[in-house]
């Protein structure tokens, strides 16, 4: 691995450590219950290092929740190679969402949305983080569709898909995840079922 690659990995690890510390403190103490100095102490970095990555603690909290934690580049490469070259953008989005939206990731996003309702200063950073997720998905979709579809189409598609995810994140849809108990969840549906239903509507053109 070359030096630029190692430098990038180090930067990603530093940003992740700072963001995770901020997110942990936000859940433990509330957004008003800690300061940036506590974040850097917990993560083991300096205030100056924090400033190189984030403008404020709100941005760091949102970054931690929105980060997609793949097992590594090999996982993404294997996923791409397994895709059918003739797969439609909608089916690509379906597969991407299944890989991206793990139980842990969705739970963190739900916690982020919940925190943003309690602390309005967090909301713009939460919305920005969700937008980055959508933007990343659109870039991946454009790459995998190999220019067969106009950018306007992929923009509308990713917007529709991520818009449909929001009711799940803000608690308006009762979705059952593998780690949840079956107690008091009689009216819940599995995430797989929710995803299949959502894409069924999209395939039918709503």
| pLDDT at residue 5, as a whole number | 66
189 beta partners: 175
CA 111 to chain CA centroid, nearest Å: 12
Residues in contact with 49: Cβ distance below 8 Å, sequence separation at least 6, in sequence order: 14, 18, 40
157 and 89 Cβ atoms separated by less than 8 Å: yes
| Three-class secondary structure of residue 47 per DSSP | helix
Residues in contact with 108: Cβ distance below 8 Å, sequence separation at least 6, in sequence order: 23, 64, 65, 66
Domain match, 201 and 119 both = yes
pLDDT 10s digits, 60-111: 999 998 886 554 556 666 767 777 777 888 888 888 888 778 888 888 999 9
pLDDT 10s digits, 193-206: 888 988 998 888 75
Tokens coding 29: 């103490």
The one-character DSSP state at 173 is: S
Domain match, 46 and 75 both = no
Has residue 51 got a pLDDT over 90? yes
Domain that holds residue 32: 1-65
Query: Where does a domain end: 65, 90, 115?
Result: 65
Query: Where does a domain end: 20, 40, 65?
Result: 65
In this structure, the number of other CB atoms found within 10 A of the CB of residue 3 comes to: 7
Query: Where does a domain end: 21, 50, 65?
Result: 65
Domain match, 26 and 119 both = no
Whichever domain contains 47, its CATH number is 1.10.10
pTM as predicted: 0.82
Domain match, 202 and 170 both = yes
60 and 19 Cβ atoms separated by less than 8 Å: yes
């Amino acid at each position: 691995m070359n030096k630029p690659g190692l430098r990038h990995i180090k930067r990603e690890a530093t940003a992740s450590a700072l963001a995770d510390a901020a997110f942990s403190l936000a859940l433990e103490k509330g957004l008003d219950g800690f300061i940036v100095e506590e974040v850097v102490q917990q993560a083991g970095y300096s205030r100056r290092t924090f400033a190189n990555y984030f403008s404020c603690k709100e941005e760091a909290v949102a970054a931690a929740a929105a980060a997609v934690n793949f097992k590594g580049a090999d996982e993404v490469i294997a996923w791409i190679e397994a895709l059918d070259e003739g797969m439609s953008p909608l089916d690509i989005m379906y597969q991407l969402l299944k890989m991206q939206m793990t139980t842990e990731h969705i739970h963190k996003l739900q916690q982020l949305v919940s925190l943003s309702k309690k602390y309005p200063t967090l909301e713009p950073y939460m919305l920005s983080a969700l937008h980055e997720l959508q933007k990343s998905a659109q870039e991946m979709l454009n790459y995998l569709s190999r220019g067969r579809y106009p950018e306007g189409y992929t923009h509308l598609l990713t917007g529709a898909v991520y818009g449909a995810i929001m009711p799940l994140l803000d608690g308006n849809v009762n979705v059952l995840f593998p780690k949840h108990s079956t107690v008091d969840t009689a009216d819940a549906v599995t995430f797989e079922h929710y995803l299949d239903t959502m894409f069924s509507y999209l395939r039918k053109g709503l």
